[in-house]
A and B are shown apart, each in its own frame.
Chain A
């Protein structure tokens, strides 16, 4: 079980809650379970969500494991120059 924090706009489509307890071993499973629970999140996942695990931001490595007790924060996937 990991605790996941969603940024403001995303929490609006996740029942208005910023913090969620989810049983997920990696980013892929986290996204799948969030989408199952809150279908409104799916378009956001398609558009791109970055996952900060203990402060390190992962954008594409969906196989990245979510260590128990890690701080997990979902962020918008951003553009760079």
Chain B
């Protein structure tokens, strides 16, 4: 790394202000171009044939009739996507997920695809493809799948992480364990113990924009891909590997993105579109329908979690234990592992143990969803923590404050924390007016905490100064939440110029060095570090050019507030040179002025949030209404506070939907019953109150401005906060997410029946 990333505690001129978003006008007027808005001359329409079975051997696919249909230009199956993964198991799973090779592993699994001159012919062609299946027994429930009698999804998988290698294959792909101390001794010291089991159903990220791309493969081996993605460089790597292309010859351009939340972090339809284009010799546009998005992309894990927490009379937690089973879809994953790491991360615990089990089921391949796996673990743990506080006769916030992790605490997942924000978020909640507001009949208040790691990663940025002094900033992290505005603020801050003179774009893969995707709340954290570095490199050149213009040694030039200044009394008559002055002369002082940066932005600080929620429950129907909601979260430093608030509100809104309504419902036949927004209900504006936010700023010591990621943590507490609110409203502990009206009524009926 060519610059010092440590927090410097500087004063800001641009960072922390709230300029109007640069992409706003295009988005509200419809000019912004999303994945499906791009077109190429002569492009074909791609459509995918999907398995109607949850689990079936593909015995034979006959595409001959479809190929003969007038207007059909290409038909492909797995044979057109040969295995080039060279033993890379994760990539093989992605390949198999894009196009089933031997077995269809879930309802909606792609088995063939066509490219035709229009959508009608493409749909007709799909009907002419004959697939002979041998239907196998299936399993979609995470607990049933973990049972040794369950239908086996992959007979080559033996559970990893056991002391002895198992003799038989299993749907449980991996066991992981975290913790420290002695939980048995800890529980022996406890005066009160809460032990409960919880379930959460599978949800989709629910991004408004379906997966969409236009692919064009040329006869000379070059190719272009226009695509809606969270990481166009990662998509380039995946597609190049799966198609056997040279990465440098595949140019990937990311469109505007109508939501991703983790669901657009690896390829789904893109290799299929490229393979169709390669076969047809023409560009192919492939846009998923909403039904396909639900059946074949995205979802997060369904979970089953057992929690046990003990505390002494004085309110100190003496031991905590959790067993977490997470569904992975039909491919191995590490989702329970993340749940096991995050479950108790908010607390200072002497004795803690978590065990995670990854479970295969006949559902779509599990994908990351905003702080993946953490919300479910937090739901189980924070519900039990609330119940334990109640049994102890302690206030739920005070109990958490007493046991909150702090600097120097050994985290439940292993290392010792540096400066962290869980304590301050709890103190802020304790004193927040929301906690004192009166409640009416059938209303309940809940609160809960959440944790997420945050990541950095490989990042590359170019900053170019035009001859008129305006600045263009090319970044490689897709803007999913306002990073173009934030990064423009950062460039303006470093250069000492006005924000309005900076224009940020997301560059394509042929124009910039490799960037990891925008995940792990890393977009603004990582690219701001690279932007600071690039700007400082540009300033070195600006100083050199000013020295030339003045004909003085460059060591005598300093950069302050957007100007080169000749330091020392001997230069008293030299007026400062602005960035604009220097840029205007760049043609004769050495040519273009630019700053580049390529780095690994490591050291992202962990993040904590605490949420408060008021819910009203109709005891006759089980219907719920969110009355009031407050998010308190540590941002490290809010570069553009409005966007930070937007992230907080967005995470809370998604969490509210997950907690109260959203779930994948499978029939006994293993088919998804509610693959559409009418039957899979995400919250709309009229379902939600204004979500209040409070930004705390506890600087990350590993970023020059103290920035932490903010995008994900906000979805971690809502499930638990809402469950605690509903439980408090109805007097029955809710243990199954979503708390839909039928589920609340069933819980009330069960309570009445004793």
- Measured in the bound complex, the distance between the Cα atoms of B712 and A58 in whole Å is 19
Pair A9/B177 contact, Cβ less than 8 Å: yes
| Residues in B neighbouring A54, C-beta threshold 8 A | 415-416, 418
Q: B212 CB to closest chain A CB, in angstroms?
A: 20
Interface range, B side: 35 or more
**Cβ–Cβ contact A5 & B414, under 8 A:** yes
A64 to B205, CA, bound (A): 36
- Hey, which chain A residues are within 8 Å of B499, CB to CB? none
Q: Which residues of A contact B414 (CB under 8 A)?
A: 5, 7, 52, 73, 75
Q: Chain B residues in contact with chain A, CB under 8 A?
A: 1, 90, 160-161, 163, 174-179, 205, 261-263, 265, 334, 337-338, 341, 368-372, 411, 413-418, 453-458, 519-522, 600, 602-606, 701-702, 711-712
Does A61 have its Cβ within 8 Å of any Cβ on chain B?
yes
A 56-69 to B, binary, CB cutoff 8 A, 1 in contact else 0: 11111100100000
B residues within 8 A CB of A81?
205, 261-263, 265, 368-372, 519-520, 711-712
Q: 7 A-B pairs, CB-CB below 8 angstroms? A: A9-B177, A54-B416, A54-B418, A57-B604, A59-B602, A75-B341, A75-B414
**18 other contacts beyond A59-B456, A80-B262, A81-B261, with CB at 8 A cut-off?**
A7-B176, A8-B179, A9-B176, A12-B163, A47-B90, A54-B416, A59-B457, A71-B415, A75-B414, A76-B334, A78-B453, A78-B520, A79-B265, A79-B338, A79-B368, A80-B368, A80-B371, A80-B519
Closest chain B residue to A63 by CB distance? B1
Expressed in whole angstroms, the minimum distance between the Cβ of A64 and any Cβ of chain B is 7
Min CB distance, B407 to chain A, in Å? 8
A78 in contact with B602 (CB, 8 Å): no
Chain A residue numbers with a CB within 8 Å of B341 are: 75-76, 78
Which chain B residues border A58 with CB–CB below 8 Å? 602-603
Closest to A76 in B: B337
| Distance between B646 CB and nearest chain A CB, rounded to angstroms | 16
> Are B177 and A8 in contact, CB atoms less than 8 angstroms apart?
yes
Tell me the interface secondary structure of chain B in the complex.
loop
| Closest A residue by C-beta to B1 | A61
User: How far is it, in angstroms, between the C-alpha of A40 and the C-alpha of B212 when the chains are bound?
Assistant: 41
- CB nearest neighbor in A for B456: A59
- The residue on A at minimum CB distance from B700 is A56
Complex Cα–Cα for A73 and B415 (A): 6
Q: How far is the CA of A75 from the CA of B455 in the complex (A)?
A: 13
Question: Is the Cβ of B416 less than 8 Å from the Cβ of A59?
Answer: no
Given known A-B contacts A9-B161, A9-B177, A55 and B415 have beta carbons under 8 A apart: yes
A8 to B179, CA, bound (A): 8
Check A80/B603 contact, CB under 8 A, given A8-B178, A57-B453. Answer: no
Q: A79: nearest residue on chain B (CB-CB)?
A: B368
Taking a contact as CB atoms under 8 Å apart, the answer to whether A8 and B176 are in contact is yes
Bound Cα distance A55, B369 (Å): 25
- A22 and B176 CA atoms in complex are apart in Å by 24
CA distance A5 to B521 in the complex (A): 27
Q: Contact: B417 with A61, CB < 8 Å?
A: no
B410: min CB distance to chain A, Å: 9
Is A9 a contact of B160 with CB atoms below 8 Å? yes
Chain A nearest CB: distance from B17 CB in Å? Answer: 28
**What is the bound-complex CA distance between A48 and B358, given in angstroms?**
18
Distance in Å from the Cβ of A3 to the closest Cβ of chain B? 13
Closest chain A residue, CB of each to CB of B408: A55
Q: Are B413 and A56 in contact (CB under 8 A)?
A: no
In the complex, the answer to whether A55 meets B418 with C-beta atoms within 8 Å is: yes
**How far is the CB of B140 from the nearest CB of chain A, in Å?**
23
Q: Please name all residues of chain B whose beta carbon is closer than 8 Å to the beta carbon of A73 when the two chains form the complex.
A: 414-415
Nearest opposing residue in chain A for B367, CB measure: A81
Question: Which 7 residue pairs across A and B have the least CB separation, nearest first?
Answer: A80-B520, A81-B262, A52-B415, A8-B177, A80-B519, A81-B368, A73-B415
Residue in A55, A56, A64, A79 whose CB lies within 8 Å of B519? A79
In angstroms, how far is the closest chain A Cβ from the Cβ of B124? 38
Given known A59-B457, A60-B600, A80-B455, contact A12–B161 (CB-CB < 8 A): yes
What is the bound-complex CA distance between A80 and B341, given in angstroms?
Answer: 13
Expressed in whole angstroms, the minimum distance between the Cβ of B650 and any Cβ of chain A is 12
Residues of A within 8 A of B261 (CB): 81
Task: Give the residues in chain A near B702, CB-CB below 8 Å.
Answer: 56
Find chain A residues with CB under 8 A from B372 CB: 79-81
A4-33 vs B, Cβ < 8 Å mask (1 yes, 0 no): 010111001000000000000000000000
Alpha-carbon separation in the docked complex, A75 to B205 (Å):
27
Q: Is A79 a contact partner of B334 (Cβ separation < 8 A)? A: yes
Question: Of B205, B455, B519, B600, which contacts A61 at CB under 8 A?
Answer: B600
Name the residue on B nearest A75 (C-beta): B414
Shortest beta-carbon distance from A76 to chain B in Å? 6
In angstroms, Cα B414 to Cα A9, docked, is: 13
CA separation between A81 and B522, bound complex, in Å?
Answer: 10
Chain A hits for B174, CB < 8 A? 9
Q: Which residue of A lies closest to B517 (CB)?
A: A80
A57 to chain B, nearest CB (A): 7
Residues of A within 8 A of B178 (CB): 7-8
B521 neighbours in A (Cβ, 8 Å) = 80
Task: Tell me which residues across on chain B come within 8 A of A60, comparing CB atoms.
Answer: 456-458, 600, 602
User: Known contacts A61-B600, A79-B519: does B161 contact A56 (CB below 8 Å)?
Assistant: no
CA distance A68 to B712 in the complex (A): 34
How long is the Cα–Cα vector from A7 to B412 in the complex, in angstroms? 11
Select A80's contact among B263, B417, B712, beta carbons within 8 Å: B712
- Give B334's nearest chain A residue, CB to CB: A76
Closest to A43 in B: B89
Of A52, A55, A64, the most chain B CB neighbours within 10 A belong to A55
**Distance (whole angstroms) from the CB of A44 to the closest CB of chain B:** 11
Report Cα–Cα, A73/B701, bound state, in Å: 19
User: In whole angstroms, how far apart are the Cα atoms of A79 and B261 in the complex?
Assistant: 12
- B418 and A61 contact, CB distance less than 8 A: no
Chain A residues within 8 Å of B263, by CB: 81
- Min CB gap A5→B, angstroms: 7
**Chain A residues positioned under 8 Å from B90 (CB to CB):** 47
A66 to B339, CA, bound (A): 28
How far does the Cβ of A38 sit from chain B's closest Cβ, in whole Å? 16
Closest A residue, CB atoms, query B174: A9
Q: Which residue of A lies closest to B176 (CB)?
A: A9
Nearest-CB distance from B487 to chain A (Å)?
19
For B265, the chain A residues whose CB sits under 8 A away are 79, 81
Closest to B179 in A: A8
Which residues of the other chain, A, contact B262 by a CB distance below 8 angstroms? 79-81
Cβ contacts under 8 Å, A78 to chain B: 334, 337-338, 341, 453, 455, 520
Contact in complex: A56, B418 (CB < 8 Å): yes
Q: How far is the CA of A80 from the CA of B373 in the complex (A)?
A: 10
Query: What is the CB-to-nearest-CB distance from A67 to chain B, in angstroms, rounded to a whole number?
Result: 14
B269 CB, min distance to chain A CBs, angstroms: 20
Minimum distance in angstroms from B343 CB to a CB of chain A = 14
Cβ–Cβ < 8 Å partners of A57 in chain B: 415, 453, 602-604, 606
Residues of B within 8 A of A79 (CB): 262, 265, 334, 338, 368, 372, 519-520
The residue in A56, A57, A79 that gathers the most chain B C-beta atoms within 10 A of its C-beta is: A79
In the bound complex, how far is the Cα of B606 from the Cα of A5, in angstroms?
20
| B266 closest partner in A (C-beta) | A79
Alpha-carbon distance A79/B411, docked complex (angstroms): 19
**Shortest Cβ gap from B682 to chain A (Å):** 16
CA distance A52 to B455 in the complex (A): 12
Alpha-carbon distance A79/B338, docked complex (angstroms): 8
B415 proximity list for chain A (CB < 8 A): 52, 54-55, 57, 71, 73, 75
Which A residues are CB-close (under 8 A) to B417?
A: 55
